[in-house]
Amino acid sequence: MLDTSRSAAHLTHNGNGAASAAPFLRITGIDKHFGSFRALSNVTLDVQAGEFICFLGPSGCGKSTLLRIIAGLERQNAGMIHSLDQDISDLPPAQRQFGILFQSYALFPNLNVRENIVYGLRNRRMRSAEIDSRLNELIELIDLKGSEGKYPAQLSGGQQQRVALARAIAPSPRLLLLDEPLSALDAKVRVHLRQQIRDLQRRLGLTAIMVTHDQEEALSMADRVVAMRDGEVEQIGTPTEVYHTPRSLFVAGFVGKMNILPGRVGGGRLSIGSLSFAMPAFYDTPENQGEVIACLRPEQMRLKAAGAADALPARVMQLEFLGSFWRATLVVPALGDAEISVDLTSRDMADMPVAIGESVGVALPEDRFAVFPASQSGQVRESVRQ
Amino acid sequence: MTDLATRHGAAADHGTSFRPGIDWEHVVRLLVGALMLAVALVIIVLPLYALLSQSFEDHEGNFVGLANFISYAQDPILRLSVFNSLWVAVLTVAIVVPLGFFFSYALTRSCMPLKGLFKGIALLPILAPSLLPAIALIYIFGNQGYLKWLMFGHSIYGPVGIIMAQVFHCLPFVVLIMTTALATADARLYEAAETLNTSRWRVFWTITFPSVRYGLINASLVVFTTAIVDFGIAKVIGGKFNMLAIDVYRQIIGQANFQMGAVIGVILLFPAVLTFIVERVTYKHQTSQLTARAVMLQPKPSRGFDRLMLLAVAVLAVPILGIIGTAIFASFVTLWPYNLSFSLANFNFGAFDPGGWLSYWNSVEMAAWTALFGTIMAFCGGYLTEKHRRGSRVLLGYHIVAMVPLAVPGIVLGLGYIFFFNMPSNPLNVVYGTMTIMVMCTIGHYYTVPHLMALTALKQIDSEFEAASQALGVSFWTTLRRVTVPISIPAIIDIATFFFVNAMTTVAGVIFIYGSTTKVASIAVVALNDTGDEGAACAMAMMILYTSAGVKLLQVIATRLLLHRQQQWRSSLREA
Ligand SMILES: Nc1ncnc2c1ncn2[C@@H]1O[C@H](COP(=O)(O)OP(=O)(O)O)[C@@H](O)[C@H]1O
Ligand SMILES: [Mg+2]
């Protein structure tokens, strides 16, 4: 199909030794101010060739600004950007050879699909036969055969974004940058296009960075997620790392629902209400001493029959039907009368129906606790606000 | 408490009877709509109809078909005027549109300093009657002009002078249209092109130019029409060079050949009708260019480019300021070019013209009435059209009539007024020769733009206000008074200013219908120039400019104060 993208080609040229040492993109100590407002501070990040990275964070946290700095559309106030050991901090956008996809598609309204896609190829003075074959490949790739002559206004949002994608990858960019490419689309189209983009990126071996504020999108697409807050990187990790072992309460709350239980840490033990647990190794750090917040995700707990041996007694206060699962709100006396949410699959519900007001048992997976200093408790609200 | 209780009781009483009574809102809407339509018909459509029918009749009023047009086509002198008007207009377009585009490009796409000042300079000619550049150019390049040597022996009287004055006169139209067109651009398009390694040149031709294409077409057509139908400039600086609008004047005033005048009037309708149609067709394209998600382009500072733009704009500003400066200077000297000592004698209009200062005050009076009644009409009509048009033929008819003046040159409408209001059988002929007819003609002539301004302003007000108050059982006129008008005050002031300034500067619209007691300042400028009192003509033209500028300044200040005072609720309006 499509010839390998330039990023991969570049790597093979470089040989074996050197290429593996230097990451494809190395971002170090990026600062950015708008007037007195600090949009980014000391952002540092490595991106490996062929990776799909997601910048995740609430709106206004500086994701787009970081992406635009990588693209060269914005100039950083401090910090460096290297690509394969070459300093590209001061290169204009055109010379970085990065493709970019915007939320607004930004298709040229006066050019048709074909002309939009080949726009960047013409700039590179390719022969017209070459351009034609490239165009056909791309059209096929984005599934828009037969629409070559249409204008952007005649296409649906999803189709427009696919054309924009084709335009961005047509000149074989070394890196593909996507700024919330899906957030203007309907939920259904969004999920479909999500897969299409990911599929394409894998097949072409593209390195890609995508900005999103949708945690589901980030978790489902990314090889690694960069969680951001107020212009700073909070955590970098695979989706499972970020989800299961968040580094801060903010990240914990942003990537999914969390039960929040006030507790204490002392002598390597975590005590909540009248109970005491072994401290999970990952969170056994010097900061996590004294007053802490312990977190558990609703789907990690299990409901059992009232009085079951390994379960805490609890009472069902609320039941919420959420389609593919149920969310029960329980009060657990042993946890100091804390309210916790527990998710039940439809099968769980069929096996053991529960109703509001009933007494049940709940089993806590103690090794799944995420623990943060109590000083972070303010971050809960922040992460939910999105 | 008791008050509440009784109100509840009353409401309950009403609630029991759902008898379909008279829908007063509907009746009022219909009556006002019909009245507006009737007035619009009288001041716009019937005079045009009278003009058209006149062109198909002979002196005795018998229908003669195309005979008048045929005899026109056989007259070589008149045919020459068509040709002259055409090439002068084409040349004017070819000069002023690129200049205006360049000026606007600098104002919108660079970070040059003093943008406000230079935009003000470019728009200054709007405040002056078109006669002013013509007279000033005579002072500069005329027989005794101080830069006469620059003409290299050519005469300023004729096409050269006409085109130069037209360029001055039309520049603001181009700058207004083009700065609007250039101001809205999607920054993302430029960024996408940049990451695709596109040259500046290609970016211009594939993004910038297509996005302002319709603006350029419209600007060209507006200039073309203005240049073809303009009367004042050709009258003052045209010399023996014949143009269509001058022919109309000669046929009517000189030879009392009304039929031939009507024929030329009909011919003058063509370019404007063409403009009108193209404007309507391109209007939709123009607005659909930007999506809601577009990010506005902000020019980035670039030292070299910004300086270059500043320099170019400054160079372009010199002739504008030179022309106005010359007029100011000439109005204050004793006798150009022999006695350049300071004098206010030129402002003693009574010494040159029996009308004296009366013409000036007539102008002010006419402008004030025009602004008052024109604004009321345009706003009420716009309101009914925008908020209550659905299903109403009367209002649709009104809207169509309100769009007509855009396609009617002032001189043609004025001609129509002679035919229509001079008819002995017309009961309205009592207004002939009064201030009333002048105000009617001026409102009619400039009606379309205020109508559109009102529509635009009202479109921005959420139609759910109306729905909500209807649901609350509040009559539409209460909502109009309590909500819609207060929100629209800036637009209303804008409309009034537009009417006032245009009424001050118009010549062509009123040249046929003024009476001895209703002569206005712009007509006085023509007369003073005819009698060789150029100094006084300059002084009178400057009085018009000072007045328009003063009113414009008042508008800016009033709007600022108002917006400042209403900042609180206006900011919430913008977010909504
Ligand atoms: N050109 C700019 N001028 C001033 N402030 C800006 C500009 N661009 C972004 N910002 C500010 O920087 C912050 C981060 O913006 P952005 O990177 O767009 O956030 P995100 O993409 O994460 O929603 C926001 O508070 C925004 O208002
Ligand atoms: Mg963003």
Residue A321 has a pLDDT of: 92
Which residue owns the Cα nearest ligand 1 atom 25? A60
- Between residues B215 and A385, the one the model is more confident about: B215
Residue B147 has a pLDDT of: 81
Residue B419 has a pLDDT of: 87
Interface test with A, best of B186, B189, B194, B196 (most A CBs within 10 A): B196
- In the structure encoding, which two tokens stand for residue A216, read together? 């589901």
Place of tokens 């999500």: A194
DSSP B355-419: TTTHHHHHHHHHHHHHHHHHHHHHHHHHHHHHHH-TT-HHHHHHHHHHHGGGGS-HHHHHHHHHH
Closest to B194 (Cβ–Cβ): which among A93, A124, A171? A93
Residue A211 has a pLDDT of: 96
Q: Is the CB of A120 under 6 A from ligand 1?
A: no
DSSP B257-308: -HHHHHHHHHHHHHHHHHHHHHHHHHHHHHHTT--TT--B--PPP-HHHHHH
Containing A254, the helix (H) or strand (E) segment is: helix A249-254
Residue A1 has a pLDDT of: 43
**Are the C-beta atoms of A362 and A302 separated by less than 8 Å?**
yes
Measured between CA atoms, the residue of chain A closest to residue B288 is: A153
With bands split at pLDDT 50, 70 and 90, how would you rate the model's confidence at B110? very high
Quick: pLDDT tens for B351-375. Answer: 887 778 899 999 999 999 999 999 9
Atom of ligand 1 nearest to the CA of A65: 17
Instruction: Give me the residues paired with residue A212 across strands.
Output: A56
What one-letter code names the amino acid at A373? P
**Are the C-beta atoms of A281 and A308 separated by less than 8 Å?**
no
Options 3.40.50.300, 3.30.70.80, 3.90.550.10, 3.30.70.1230; which CATH number does A25-244 get? 3.40.50.300
Residue A210 pLDDT > 90:
yes
Q: Which of A235, B263, B137 is nearest to A243 (CA)?
A: A235
- Cα B154 → chain centroid: 33
- In the structure encoding, which two tokens stand for residue A385, read together? 């606000």
User: Residues of CATH 1.10.3720.10 domain(s) within chain B?
Assistant: 24-74+344-576, 78-242+303-343
Say whether residue A185 is in contact with chain B using an 8 A CB cutoff.
Answer: no
Atom of ligand 1 nearest to the CA of A62: 17
Residue A326 pLDDT > 60:
yes
**Are the C-beta atoms of B163 and B174 separated by less than 8 Å?**
no
In chain A, where the domains are located: 25-244, 258-385
Quick: pLDDT tens for B217-233. Answer: 889 988 998 898 888 89
Backbone phi, psi, residue A5, to 5°: -70, 165
Residues of chain A with C-beta less than 8 angstroms from the C-beta of B197: 94-95, 97, 120, 123-124, 171
Residue B389 has a pLDDT of: 65
Residues of chain A with C-beta less than 8 angstroms from the C-beta of B210: 108-110
Cα–Cα dist B546/B536, whole Å: 15
- In the structure encoding, which two tokens stand for residue A13, read together? 């040229």
Mean confidence (pLDDT) of chain A: 88
| CATH code at B78-242+303-343 | 1.10.3720.10
CATH topology of domain B24-74+344-576: MetI-like fold (1.10.3720)
Residue B148 has a pLDDT of: 78
With bands split at pLDDT 50, 70 and 90, how would you rate the model's confidence at B411? confident
First to last CA, chain B: 35
Which residue owns the Cα nearest ligand 1 atom 3? A34
- In the structure encoding, which two tokens stand for residue A351, read together? 């096996």
Measured between CA atoms, the residue of chain B closest to residue A179 is: B188
Quick: pLDDT tens for B111-165. Answer: 999 999 999 999 999 998 988 999 999 989 888 778 877 877 788 889 999 999 9
Say whether residue A124 is in contact with chain B using an 8 A CB cutoff.
Answer: yes
* Domain A258-385: top CATH class: mainly beta
Pocket test for ligand 1, best of A41, A54, A59, A64 (most atoms within 8 A of CB): A64
- In the structure encoding, which two tokens stand for residue B203, read together? 């970016």
DSSP letter assigned to residue A327: E
Instruction: Report the SS3 class of residue B202.
Output: helix
Cα–Cα dist B523/B231, whole Å: 11
Instruction: Report the SS3 class of residue B518.
Output: coil
Cα–Cα dist B414/B55, whole Å: 15
**Are the C-beta atoms of A272 and A259 separated by less than 8 Å?**
no
Quick: pLDDT tens for A253-301. Answer: 999 999 999 999 988 899 998 889 999 989 999 889 999 999 999 999 9
DSSP letter assigned to residue B41: I
Whether the upstream peptide bond of residue B337 has omega within 30° of 0, thus cis, is yes
CA-based max dimension of chain A? 77
